């Protein structure tokens, strides 16, 4: 474990009042969440990239909902890991704290994070295709296809699919936070998917001290102030612990 790196980052966090954290699939994998990409994403000979699209839903909403119901059934029993809890603890210690996640599993909220920005939506929210109502739904199994209680319209998962644009208001809020951050943690993300792959570089350009916590180096590692390799569930609790010393 990079004890010196952890100590350096802890000192930086102790003196920071504005902190942004970005999390990716890596932190959720440590709780047992499959990536749903590549081999992990194969379900009944369908790839995630074939099912998580507006076109697939329009063609066969029952098939897409069967896949999402399967995903929800896998994730429902899973629990946050120490990395999730450490970030919830860090939030309590920082005056201006923003947690941005690419994950849709809801584990940050389950760990106690108050207002995570779920930039790709949540598996536990649904949206009516007819009236636009967006609400939480934790039924597993869910009635397929699910219908809106208000208008009877078809419900869809409230997630961002391949080929869909991210919510522009959410993106503006993220960039606003990045541009004023003093310190940023980039946790468990490969740095391969835009626009999140550029968030650390945006914060760095704006003057932030940027730290990467990941199992292996990424294409952005060389541009950050500190890059620590290891599991988020092991490193982040040590980081918070060092802040109290």
Which segments of the chain does DSSP mark as H helices, in order?
3-14, 25-29, 48-51, 54-59, 61-75, 82-93, 107-111, 168-180, 199-205, 232-243
Q: Quote the Cα angle for 28-33-36, to 5°.
A: 110
Long-range contacts of 163-167 (CB under 8 A, 24+ apart): 163/53, 163/54, 163/55, 164/54, 166/119, 166/120, 166/195, 167/119
No. of helices (H) and no. of strands (E), the chain: 10, 9
Contact in structure between 152 and 128 (CB atoms under 8 Å): no
3-state secondary structure 58-81: HHCHHHHHHHHHHHHHHHCCCCCC
Known catalytic residues are 120
């Amino acid at each position: 474990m990079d004890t010196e790196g952890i100590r350096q980052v802890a000192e930086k966090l102790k003196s920071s009042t504005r902190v942004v954290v970005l999390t990716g699939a890596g932190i959720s994998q440590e709780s047992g969440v499959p990536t749903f990409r590549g081999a992990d994403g194969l379900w009944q000979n369908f790839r995630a990239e074939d099912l998580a699209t507006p076109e697939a839903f329009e063609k066969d909403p029952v098939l897409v909902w069967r896949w999402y119901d399967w995903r929800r059934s896998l994730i429902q029993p899973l629990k946050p890991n120490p990395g999730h809890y450490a970030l919830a603890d860090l939030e309590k210690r920082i005056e201006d704290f923003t947690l941005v996640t690419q994950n849709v599993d809801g584990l940050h909220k389950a760990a106690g994070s108050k207002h995570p920005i779920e930039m790709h939506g949540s598996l536990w929210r649904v949206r009516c295709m007819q009236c636009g109502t967006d609400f939480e739904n934790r039924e597993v199994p869910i009635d397929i296809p699910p219908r809106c209680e208000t208008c009877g319209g078809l419900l869809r998962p409230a997630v961002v699919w391949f080929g869909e644009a991210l919510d522009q208001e959410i993106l503006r809020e993220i960039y606003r936070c990045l541009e004023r951050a003093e310190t940023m943690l980039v946790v468990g993300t490969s740095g391969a998917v835009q626009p999140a792959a550029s968030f650390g570089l945006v914060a760095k350009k704006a003057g932030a001290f940027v730290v990467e916590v990941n199992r292996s180096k990424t294409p952005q590692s060389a541009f950050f102030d500190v890059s620590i390799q290891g599991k988020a569930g092991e490193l982040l609790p040590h980081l918070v612990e060092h802040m109290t010393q």
